Structure 1
């Protein structure tokens, strides 16, 4: 795991691959809990029998926003940013979903530091995030995640 203690340490990684997370399995229980939290009960996500019989993938799929919401969890497996007063998930940019994540698929996040800026003491980083699906050529998504870090 990459450990970062300051703006200067972070900047050393500009343009470089930062690492990859562990594999994470998205099961039906997680999909159902996400549906309940977001009130998005579209059958392609939650109705296993209908998805098996009528769905284009013959199984339920994870919500795209469920896979996006896992970025902070997976990112923390890649980088341990320390010595912070505060950190903020600031935004997402240029995201494209490439392939659906079927139930019980394993996913893994890879990260690359695209840019880093000092905003009067606040560090703004743009991380290129790619979510791989085990045994698939195309990623579930690729895009940029923006974090703000206020180092102590």
Structure 2
């Protein structure tokens, strides 16, 4: 895990891979809870029997937005940003889904610092995020996630 205490320490990673998260298994319980939270109960996500018989993946798959929602959790396994008053999830851009995440797959986030800017004392970073699926060549997605950090 990378520890960052200041803007200058963060800036040292510009253009570099910061690290990888641990592997995280997306199971049916997590998919079902996400479906309940988002009111998205499409059968491809929640109906195991129908997905096995009629679905293109022969199993249920995670919601694309479920995989995106894991970014803050997985990011905190990569970088420990210290000495801050506040952290804000600021936005996402240019995300492309490469392939579905089949139930019980393991995923891992890779983070690279694409950009860092000082906005009047607020640090804005753009992290190039890639979610890999264990034993798969194509990632689940790639895109840019933005965070704002208010360092002390």
TM range (shorter): over 0.9
Q: Which runs of 5+ in 1 are unaligned?
A: none
Distance between the aligned counterparts of 1:128 and 1:150, measured in 2? 20
Segments of 5+ residues of structure 2 without an aligned counterpart are none
1:107, distance to aligned residue in structure 2 (A): 0.2
| Cross-structure match for 2:131 | 131
1:115-140 CA distances to partner (integer Å, 9 max, x unpaired)?
A: 00000000000000000000000000
C-alpha separation in 2, matches of 1:136 and 1:11:
32
Q: CA RMSD in A?
A: 0.3
* Alignment match, 2:119: 119
Q: Secondary structure at the match of 1:110?
A: strand
CA distance in 2, matches of 1:146, 1:71: 11
Residue 9 of structure 1 deviates from its aligned partner by 0.5
C-alpha distance in structure 2 between counterparts of 1:84 and 1:149, whole Å: 7
SS of 1:56's equivalent in the other structure is coil
SS at match of 1:72: helix
Q: TM-score, with normalisation over the residues of structure 1? A: 1.00
Query: Alignment partner of 1:111: what SS?
Result: strand
TM-score normalized with structure 2 length: 1.00
Q: Which residue matches 1:99?
A: 99
